[in-house]
Amino acid sequence: MKILVCIKEVPHSESKPEIDFDTNSLIYDRDKSSFIINSSDEYALEEGLKLKDTIPGTELDVITAGTQLQIPVIRRALEMGADKGFILKKEPHNDPPASALIAAFVKDKNYDLILTGVMSDDNMEFITGPSIAALINYPWASSVTAMSVDVQNNSVKAEREIDSATLEIVTLKLPALITVQSGINRPRYPSLSNKLSAKIKPVPLIEIGPPPDAICPVEIISLHFPESKKGAVELNGNTGEKSQALLAILRSRGEI
Amino acid sequence: MREYMITVIIEHRKGIITQHSIDAVNSALYLASIKRCSLRGVVLSDEHFIDEEKFIKEFNIDLEVLLNSKLADYSAEGYIEVLSGFFRNSPSHFIIIPHTPQGYDYAPGLAIHLEIPCITAVTGIRKHNDNAAFQRLYAGGRIVSEVVPECGKAVITVNPSPGKVPQIRNESAPSISVKKVNASLERTVEVLLKESVPRAGDLLRAPVVIAAGKGVATEENMSLLRDLARLFPGSSIAGSRGACDIGLTDYALQVGMTGKSISPRIYFACGISGSPQHMAGLRGAGTIVAINRDPDAPIHRMADISIVERIEDFIPEFIRAAKQ
């Protein structure tokens, strides 16, 4: 079985972006911010590694779009147990989207299963996984909270959360693409032997030509910080004073 | 055939329209008022859509019902096949879809098939010159962006709007059309729906909810939240997805888009950043009290009462004060 896991490097959730108002883009100071594998992508990687552990002969590759700056997240995935890692060359903020590059890359590679996270923590678009699948004509299921592969029937069964009271269980023929929700498993720590072998693996930077049919661009006309809710109060003072202020509000409403 | 600028896809469970769909129709009505154009709803179903009279009465917009026995349950493959065929024959500039686990499953694929852009998780729509600008959030809600598709066409998934949407009515009398469509579903072997165990009855009814985010971080801090909860009779503990993922609370107590939607009088958001996925579960909440040490956390801008403090400092101090 051949598995591809698509990962993205994202700033740590506590990193604070700045707005470049000239180009309407977000900037993270790479010296002050830490960068990690996008959380749901890491769960997707673990889900793939679990399949590699249980299905003999499984190969698992990881891929991302970016530049040399993204080598550390690919290296981390190799340390966790991925066989090969690739970076598809993409300049930040520029078209084409990562989904178009990955779709072009996988077209002739015969992956049986493509895994990725349900959304990226920075852009929060929920868009890359289903877009790749639609471009390469794989069936897909997104926001998956449990999955199993049936090798004999060449299918994957995936559980999705539809709402708080309903689960949908969908069975798809392979090849297929699954986007994974966070919390589905416990991502492993790299073993020492994997760490050593990952060190010497090459991480090729691959150039993909522009996709044949570019769709109409979406222009960012403004970026700003959110405004506070109308009538909101911020409690000031030391911890004790803030406690008293909150207590006064709740007491005046008869809540406490 | 009448030409429509805007189409809203109605999500339903066995004929019952979901709340997210009603919100999406309202967003579509608002967009129609900006663009001064016509609007229709589209429903995919396996039988006669039982809610249509009610639908027409409530929203007063045209409705097209697309029927096939294979559309009994949702599948991305079925929806893409039927909708891409439908829109090729009867185009629409904007296609509005509720941003739900169903909506964001098929919206990007539909956009690829129709060769138009996809803008997801839209939280607001604004008039921009003669066009519409769509608001969405980045970086866990720290940044708001406004985007415009240059060709004036897009598939849009909409989050429930936090504010009230002006009710705009179509002038002409609405029409209903019901037609059978083809759906082959070659690669979706089976779709089953299963009820997940609802164990959070208390959470749904609780007048006061104490919710943990990833920022609560430790079991010690979690027990402080439980102490806080004891001050409020009938209160419940809850958690964000992040808190559930690191084992602070059970998934049954998760509030947000993939968890529960709740409407307590008071919601204590402790160590919660305030991502739009979390806030989607809080539309009906009364007073939101945010306790987060990060002054830049988006939750402070969405809260009614904002307290920049560490959990481990503030909650014990507050409990001490309340007990005096």
Chain B residues with CB-CB distance to A217 below 8 A: 117, 149-150
Residue B218 has pLDDT above 80, yes or no: yes
User: Inter-chain contact B260–A164, Cβ cutoff 8 Å?
Assistant: yes
User: Inter-chain contact B309–A242, Cβ cutoff 8 Å?
Assistant: yes
**Which uninterrupted H or E stretch holds B288?**
strand B287-291
- Please compute Rg for chain B using Cα positions: 22
Q: Which of B123, B132, B157, B120 is nearest to B301 (CA)?
A: B123
Name A242's Cβ contacts closer than 8 Å, sequence gap at least 6.
A235, A236, B307, B309, B314
Average pLDDT, chain B: 88
Higher-confidence residue of B258 and A117: namely: A117
Region A97-109: mean pLDDT is: 94
User: Inter-chain contact B321–A243, Cβ cutoff 8 Å?
Assistant: yes
Name the 3-class secondary structure at B302: helix
User: Inter-chain contact B198–A221, Cβ cutoff 8 Å?
Assistant: no
Q: Which amino acid is at B16?
A: I
Residue B139 has pLDDT above 90, yes or no: no
The per-residue pLDDT for B171 is 62
Region B86-113: mean pLDDT is: 95
Question: Which pTM was predicted?
Answer: 0.90
Say if B118 is an interface residue toward chain A (CB within 8 Å).
yes
The per-residue pLDDT for A80 is 98
Residue B287 has pLDDT above 90, yes or no: yes
Percent of chain A at pLDDT exceeding 70:
97
- Please compute Rg for chain A using Cα positions: 22
The per-residue pLDDT for A67 is 95
Interval B22-43: pLDDT, tens: 889 989 988 988 888 888 999 9
Residue B117 has pLDDT above 80, yes or no: yes
Interval A158-173: pLDDT, tens: 999 887 678 899 999 9
The per-residue pLDDT for A211 is 63
- What ipTM was estimated for this complex? 0.92
The pLDDT-based confidence of B319 (bands split at 50, 70, 90) is very high
Residue B221 has pLDDT above 60, yes or no: yes
CB-count burial class (<10 Å; 0-12, 13-18, 19+) for B225: buried
The pLDDT-based confidence of B320 (bands split at 50, 70, 90) is very high
Region A64-68: mean pLDDT is: 96
Name the 3-class secondary structure at B60: coil
The per-residue pLDDT for B33 is 85
User: Inter-chain contact A160–B321, Cβ cutoff 8 Å?
Assistant: no
The per-residue pLDDT for B58 is 75
Give me the residue from A16, A131, A213 closest to B296, CB to CB.
A16
The per-residue pLDDT for B18 is 83
The per-residue pLDDT for B166 is 57
Q: In whole angstroms, give the CA distance from residue B84 to residue B90.
A: 10
Give me the residue from A14, A131, A221 closest to B108, CB to CB.
A131
Residue A241 has pLDDT above 90, yes or no: yes
Structure token pair of residue B84: 């891409």
Q: In whole angstroms, give the CA distance from residue B57 to residue B115.
A: 34
Q: In whole angstroms, give the CA distance from residue A34 to residue B12.
A: 42
DSSP string, chain A: -EEEEE--EEE-TT---EEETTTTEEE--TTTS-EEE-HHHHHHHHHHHHHHHHSTT-EEEEEEEE-GGGHHHHHHHHHHT-SEEEEEE--TTPSSPHHHHHHHHHTTT--SEEEEESS-TTT----HHHHHHHHHT--EEEEEEEEEEETTTTEEEEEEEEETTEEEEEEEESSEEEEE-TTSS-PPPPPHHHHHHHHTS---EE--PPPSSPPPPEEEEEEEPPPPPTT-EE--SSHHHHHHHHHHHHHHTT--
The pLDDT-based confidence of A62 (bands split at 50, 70, 90) is very high
Region B241-259: mean pLDDT is: 91
First CA to last CA distance, chain A: 60
Residue B162 has pLDDT above 50, yes or no: no
Interval A205-233: pLDDT, tens: 999 877 656 678 899 999 998 888 888 89
Percent of chain B at pLDDT exceeding 70:
93
- Cα distances (Å, whole numbers) of residue B281 to B139, B260, B276: 19, 6, 9
First CA to last CA distance, chain B: 72
